[in-house]
Structure 1
Amino acid sequence: MTASNAADKETPAIIDRENPTHGLTQLVGWHGKAVFYIAVVFTFFQIITAAFSPLSSQVLRSLHVGFLLLLTFVLFRYRHGKSSDRVPWYDWALGLLGFALAFYHWVFEADLILRAGDPILVDLIVGAIVVALVVEGARRIMGWELPLICAIFIPYALFGRELPGFLVHRGFDIEQVIDTLFLGTEGIYGTPTFVSATFIFLFILFGALLERAGMIQLFNDIALGTVGHQKGGPAKVAVISSGLMGTINGSGVANVLTTGQFTIKLMQRFGYTPRFAGAVEATASMGGQIMPPVMGAVAFIMAETIGVPYSDIALAAVIPALLYFGSAFWMVHLEAGRRNLTGMPKSECPNALTAIRKQWYLLLPLGVLVYLLFTGFTPLFAGTIGMALTAILILGQQATVTTRSILLRFVFWIVLGLAAAMLYQVIGLRIEVAAVTLIAVLIVTTWFVKGGLEAQRLLLHSFADAAKGALGVGMACALVGILIGIMQMTGLANAIARGILAVAGDNLLLALIMTMVACLILGTGLPTIPNYIITSSMAAPVLLEMGVPLIVSHMFVFYFGIMADLTPPVALAALAASSIAKESHMKIAVTATKIGIAGYVVPFMAVYTPALMLQGGTWFDTAYVLFKAVIAVGLWGGAASAWLLGPMSWPERIWATAAAFLFVVALPVTDEIAAALTVSFLVFHWWKIRRAKTTAA
């Protein structure tokens, strides 16, 4: 059996660590119905708590984890990667136990506050069970690596006084450990879980609604209509459609598994090798996590962790994201030139404007979301409004699509607008409460409208998709809380940071390389979220102390956590693409590393010139570093593909690489040397190609 065939048979159910339900066997009978309605109830719970805020933060986090545990144990079997169409009784028992214990913080909320710091025996027993269930649930989803790392930290907290060197600490008893991990907001109910229970879930739901409504097809039509007929058009379609998909879907591997079903096969059909087609899709899809306005879940955790508005994170990511996708687009263009690949016949390409005219309403929620995020509103508010508007538009469109009378459609939307205004102005409800209330009213009224039942069905399936899509992110957030809580108790993060400083000294480049290597190594076994949380707690403070701006230091860690999914030997995005392209995932990973070169270069440029992420400096500084970055990426692309205006020899490739590297270093005189090397290289390359054409003629 080949590597690609093995990937097909063994990995689909576990390949996406951010959304691991891809490829799972569908449950049948009452098992499937029960899980579907549990997922729908979970989503309704998240919507209600986001709009009405009826529960305290601690209770919200606990119930969120309870729903996650219930769905995890009924969807994932004890043997990692195994799936079946029925749920064993013991998995139902474990899931229901985790869900029931989630109410402990709600039922005994007042008592727990009164005895804070002095837990009783029942608190300890319940806490130990919940922690064990979180570890086991996460193991079922993501394998042994991260759960084992987190589990090791518990004995580390208990027996730290016996350890040597910088690992030693005063030690803690079991009561203190469980109190931190279960009863407070430093452990499994820490900041990552809070972000999962609020911002992240709503944005996952937002993406699920748009996907069910046909946003993937709209993005594909726009990409095909704009670049499908150009040289190398099918691969350019993959870059654009995956980039657009990244605006609503923060999971790179899920992006591969959705848009890749169309784009990889399209690229192969028009002459691209399976290796290159899979690499293009993997590279473009991973960029979705750094693509504003809706970036990956890490961006929301980062905003909450460092205490800055999400809009600041998104703004800082704009130029690097454009460079990343521009680099992928450029590599595709060069490969098309090297292999003389043409685009699709224009007659086979849809009209982009026609596609937008037909489904323009799908872009409206995205536009409102961007406006709210970048005008000072919180992600929770923006996510609630965006989700509600999407649901309302889907219900309205589905309910009126079968109504031929334009007058009836017009009346329907007028009544809808008046109802929203009345809820908001007359009754005095908060706007997000009014929006959610309007959804409930519409769900009821669609029973009496032709096409309404189809609208309800679409909405409920979107709700179920969102709940299942939140499992990987949510369980990772809860599990990594064990590690973070114990690191805060023992001071280990500070000790590691001091160790890095001691090794690196005043050498910023060495500290950056050490941090990059740590992120890439951790990324071979961990999803992006725990990778970021672990490395940011240890390495980001070091970079901050060495003068790197706060957002830039955390973005540096974030970027290399993402690039780990493209970097061999594991390269999960390449593994996902291999199951579609039918090619060795290692070959795809090596090619994806070349295509995504900007993802490795831009973070270093941003550290040395923070203006690239709009952190300090003037607009001229930003324009100048962007100019340098574009030239560097262009030169690196030519060197990696061995083609620019024509074929490049090895000396030319080394020449171009040296010029690009000097643009990144940003030391005195390096820009001038890089400019001289670039001009001389381009002149020589142009002369060589022109001479070759003249000789051939």
Structure 2
Amino acid sequence: MATAHEALTLRDRLRGMSGVAVGVTLIAMAFSLFHLTTSFRGTLSTLQQVYVHLGFAMALIFLTRPIVSEESRFRRLRWFIDAPLVVASVVVSVYPVVNFLDIARRGAGDPTEVAVVLGVIATFLVLESARRMVGWALPLLSSIFIVYAFVGPHLPMIIAHRGFNLERVSATLYLTTNGIAGTPLQVSATYVAIFIVFAAFLNVSGAGKFFIDWSYAALAWFRGGPAKVAILGSALMGTINGSAVANTVATGTFTIPIMKRAGLRPAFAGAVEATASSGGQLMPPVMGAAAFIMVEVMGRPYSEILTAAALPAVLYFVALFAMVDFQVARQSIKGIPRKQLPSAWKIFKKGWHLIAPLVLLIYLLVIVRYTPIKAAFFATIAVILASWLRANTRMGVNRIVGALKEGGLSMLEVAAACAAAGITIGILMLTGLALRLSGLLIDFSGGNLMVLLFLTMGVSIILGMGLPTSAVYVVLASLVVPAMVKLGVEPMAAHLFVLYFGVMANVTPPVAIAAYAGAGLAGADPTRTGVIAFRLALAGFILPFLWVYNPALIMQGPLPQIILAGLSALIGILSLAATVQGYLFSSIARIHERVLLGIGAFMLIKAGLMTDLIGLGAIGLAIGSRFMLGAVPLPPSPVLAPFDEAETEGATT
């Protein structure tokens, strides 16, 4: 039970807010409570579930993202624009919820005049809310496809169609599950939403701080330890929250200053945080909710998704650890003395109970085989119960309200992006282009799998620059994966391929959003930070090609083959790290040694006995050169700034 003091604090907080702030808090809380309720009792019909979700999201977006800033001299105009948009958001969302039976009976072919008008308004609201949340790129793409629906007869034969009138386009986008309420928003309104709420409760309970503090105490004494803290802490948090940018900002507030103090350059510190935060979405068991979306899209068991994703995620983070370790070794950067660090064991004893909800989540999914939505509900309740085992983490009324509000506001970006993506998919389905897209991709690639993979990589990265990872995956799983499967790619390999490159968009210049967030915290040049993050994440750009040609890396095949593929890839990515960072056996690598290591890396990464032998031979020559020519001296160790123990308390919650 909450104490009287906690309840009083909550009342005082609400009294100190403006009317708008109180309204936002209450709506965001109701948003989270709606998803907690439906995750336990069962979701509504598809159209009802989606439009309740979208109504909450759009109302909050227009309340929290005003069309003009508070500093603008035109700020008084805000309510003449935003207030009607909030009301319209409620109206267009309530109509399908109340009339879903009539809509199902009529279908898109016989809409009422009211429905057509509301469909036009709903489409505009979705595009505007997406613009405010994720920028112009996605709404512009959706708008182009809307125009495409009308001008089809006037286009070249390869993409032409018979054309559709306003009534049909409006009804399809608004009243069917092939438009705004399509697969992307359905995923947002079920799997993604409840896991965002779960992540918010974990965060407010102090689990985020525990992950960072424990990682700091356990790793900061290693060479370049603060950077390795960022990697481990960001991996733990990133797998839960599913947003590379949010994770970069949350954990980077603590880790980036510590890395800079240890002697790492600001751009490198920001890049490490961004690369690790992005990779967290690839790390089981939650994978930023992607694992559960894959269960729904592929129809495969959760345990199979988990198993397939495990080895690639481990290899990604091993490569990142190696990249960072070789860089700090090259700069002679040492760890923080152990006597200045808190005890990892003491921190673990104080916070171990915060791991219990994650353990329960995995147990319910793997052993009990609950649906991901129901498992997330019980895991969220477990967060509250577990928090009461320690006074400093106890969640009373004030903290629960904070978690509900944070959960509701954290859903906005994903909901807006998924709704806009639904418009694009809806037009593709309506015009028949979606059915021809696989054939077009295969024709464009000339039936060459490697060309198709590069095309898919490019599309995934481009979409990932303007969409959350979960939305990128849902879109490409529907549109691009079938073409890959037609050319013989194992379905699991194809689905993981598009997921990985959707994640890699966060650290791919020129729009490396997570890297730019890290650069802002580090006070570094964004472009340079993005380039460094791209180099650090290089393994993430290579591994997907490997498992397409060698599915043993995703646990598809006999055990000896899996072990051999894993060892070969491990040696290969370590050699790749040595090549990129120019470091070999405690000294700087010479040019010819880096060339040999690079050849060895790519030969080992590619499956096959002959390529493995060539790769090992090239690496052996590089090592032999080191013993014959001797080591290149490293620079002197930098002088560390005075250490402030208060920094260990700086993790954000």
- How does the TM-score come out when normalised to structure 2? 0.90
Amino acid at match of 2:562: T
> 1:242 — aligned with what?
234
Q: Is the Cα–Cα contact under 8 Å of residues 179 and 422 in structure 2 kept in the other structure? A: yes
State the 1:196 CA deviation.
1.2
Moved more, 679-688 or 243-252: 679-688
Matched with 2:3 is none
Q: How far did 1:28 drift?
A: 4.9
Q: Matched residues in 1 for 2:628 and 2:270: separation?
A: 35
Of 509-518 and 617-626, more deviation after overlay is shown by 509-518
Conserved 8 A contact 2:588-2:631: no
Distance 2:400 2:628 in 1: 61
Task: Confirm or deny: 8 A CA contact 2:547 2:553 kept in the other structure.
Answer: yes
From 146, 166, 180, the counterpart of 1:154:
146
- Rate the CA distance shift 1:54–1:160 in 2: closer, same or farther, 3 A: closer
Aligned partner of 2:379 among 373, 381, 386: 386
Write the mapping of 1:190-589 to structure 2, written as runs, cut at 5 A.
Answer: 190-375=182-367, 376-394=369-387, 396-397=388-389, 401=391, 455-589=396-530
Deviation for aligned residue 1:655 = 1.1
Q: Secondary structure at the match of 1:155?
A: helix
Offset at 1:71? 0.4
For residue 159 of structure 1, give the secondary structure of its aligned residue in structure 2: helix
Cα gap change, 1:596 to 1:232, in 2 (>3 Å): same
Query: For residues 124-203 of structure 1, what are the structure 2 equivalents within 5 Å?
Result: 124-203=116-195
Q: Counterpart of 2:535?
A: 594
SS in 2 for 1:263: helix
Give per-residue Cα distances to partners, 1:323-349, cap 9 Å, x unaligned.
111111111111121111111121222
Contact 1:79 1:140 in 2 (8 A): no
Q: 1:684 aligns with which of 607, 617, 625?
A: 625
Question: CA separation in 1, counterparts of 2:576 and 2:452?
Answer: 24
Letter in 2 for 1:259: T
Pick aligned residue for 1:105 from 73, 87, 96: 96
Q: Structure 1 residues 360 and 525, CA, compared in 2 at 3 Å: closer, same or farther? A: closer
Partner SS for 1:296: helix
Deviation at 1:553, TM superposition (A): 0.6
Amino acid at match of 1:539: V
**Which AA in structure 2 matches 1:182?**
Y
Note if contact 1:523-1:561 (Cα within 8 Å) is conserved in structure 2. Answer: yes
Q: Structure 1 stretches of 5 or more lacking a match?
A: 1-26, 403-450
CA, structure 1 residues 78+536, in 2 after alignment: closer, same or farther (shift >3 Å)? same
**Amino acid across the alignment from 1:88:** W
The alpha-carbon deviation at position 312 of structure 1 amounts to 2.8
Aligned partner of residue 246 in structure 1, secondary structure: helix
Instruction: Kindly indicate whether the alpha-carbon contact (under 8 Å) linking 1:199 and 1:380 is maintained by their aligned counterparts in 2.
Output: yes
Cα distance change on mapping 1:85 and 1:37 into 2, 3 Å: farther
User: What is the letter of the counterpart of residue 679 of structure 1?
Assistant: G
Q: Quick check: 1:46 aligned with 2:28?
A: no
Closer, same or farther: CA 532–109 of 1 in aligned 2, 3 Å: closer
CA distance change for structure 1 residues 686 and 92 in 2, over 3 Å: closer, same or farther?
farther
Structure 1 residues 619-634: aligned runs within 5 Å:
619-634=559-574
Residues 1:69 and 2:62 are matched in the alignment: no
**Maintained 8 Å contact 2:285/2:291:** no
Residue 195 of structure 1 contacts residue 300 of structure 1 at CA under 8 Å; is this kept in 2?
no
Q: Is the 8 A contact 1:243 1:284 kept in 2?
A: yes
Contact 1:365 1:389 in 2 (8 A): yes
1:306 counterpart letter in structure 2: M
Asked whether the 8 Å contact 1:253–1:576 carries over to 2, the reply is: yes
Instruction: Give the AA of the match of 1:115.
Output: R
Which deviates further from its counterpart, 580-589 or 307-316?
307-316
What is aligned with 2:644? none
Change (3 A) 1:276 1:498: same
Shift of 1:239: 0.8
TM-score (norm 1): 0.84
How large is the Cα RMSD of the aligned pairs?
Answer: 2.3
Q: What SS does the aligned partner of 2:210 have?
A: helix
Q: Counterpart of 1:638?
A: 578
**CA, structure 1 residues 515+240, in 2 after alignment: closer, same or farther (shift >3 Å)?**
same
Match of 1:420 in 2: none
In the TM superposition, residue 389 of structure 1 has moved relative to its aligned partner by: 1.2
User: 1:459: how far off?
Assistant: 0.4
C-alpha displacement at 1:385, in angstroms?
A: 1.0
Q: Which runs of 5+ in 2 are unaligned?
A: 1-15, 635-653
Task: Give the aligned residue type for 2:55.
Answer: G
Partner of 1:60: 49
Inter-partner Cα distance in structure 2 for 1:327 and 1:681 = 19
Q: Note if contact 1:191-1:304 (Cα within 8 Å) is conserved in structure 2.
A: no
Per-residue deviation, 1:359: 1.7
Amino acid at match of 1:96: V
Shift of 1:219: 0.9
Q: 1:306 Cα shift?
A: 2.5
Aligned residue identity for 1:105: P
The C-alpha deviation readout for 1:205-236, integer Å capped at 9, x for no partner, is 11111111111221112212221111111111
* Stretch deviating more after TM superposition (296-305 or 208-217): 296-305
Q: Contact between 1:235 and 1:277, CA under 8 Å: does it hold in 2?
A: yes
- Which deviates the most, 152-161 or 265-274? 152-161
> Given the superposition, is the C-alpha separation of residues 174 and 563 from structure 1 closer, same or farther in structure 2, using an over 3 Å criterion?
same
1:611-666, Cα deviation, whole Å (9 max, x unpaired): 1112x211111111111111111111111111121111111111111111112333
Distance 2:378 2:560 in 1: 37
Correspondence list, 1:104-123, <5 A: 104-116=95-107, 117-123=109-115
Distance (Å, rounded) in 2 between the aligned partners of 1:120 and 1:332: 61
CA shift for structure 1 position 80: 9.1
Distance 1:494 1:43 in 2: 37
- Secondary structure class of the residue paired with 2:178: coil
Q: Distance in 1 between matches of 2:344 and 2:460?
A: 40
CA contact (8 A) 2:460 2:502 kept: yes
Q: Following the alignment from structure 2 to structure 1, what is the Cα–Cα distance between the partners of residues 464 and 251? A: 23
Distance 1:690 1:68, change over 3 A: closer
Q: Structure 2 counterpart of 1:618, which letter? A: P
**What is the CA-CA distance between 1:151 and the residue it aligns to?**
1.4
Matched, 1:31 2:20: yes
Cα distance per residue 1:257-297 (max 9 Å; x no partner): 01101111001001111111111111101011111111124
In 1, the alpha carbon distance for the partners of 2:66 and 2:292 equals: 30
Match of 2:552 in 1: 611
Q: 8 Å contact 2:242–2:287 — kept in the other structure?
A: yes
Cα gap change, 1:692/1:156 in structure 2, threshold over 3 Å: closer, same or farther? closer
The CA deviation string for residues 359-417 of structure 1, in whole angstroms up to 9 with x for no partner, is 222110010111222233211111111111112333x347xx39xxxxxxxxxxxxxxx
**Greater mean deviation of Cα atoms: 679-688 or 561-570:** 679-688
SS at match of 1:55: coil
Q: Which residue of 2 aligns with 1:94?
A: 85
Counterpart residue identity of residue 574, structure 2: G
Length, aligned pairs only: 614
CA contact (8 A) 2:578 2:584 kept: yes
Local SS of the residue matching 1:565: helix
Residues 296-305 or 573-582, more deviating: 296-305
Q: Is 1:672 aligned with 2:613?
A: yes
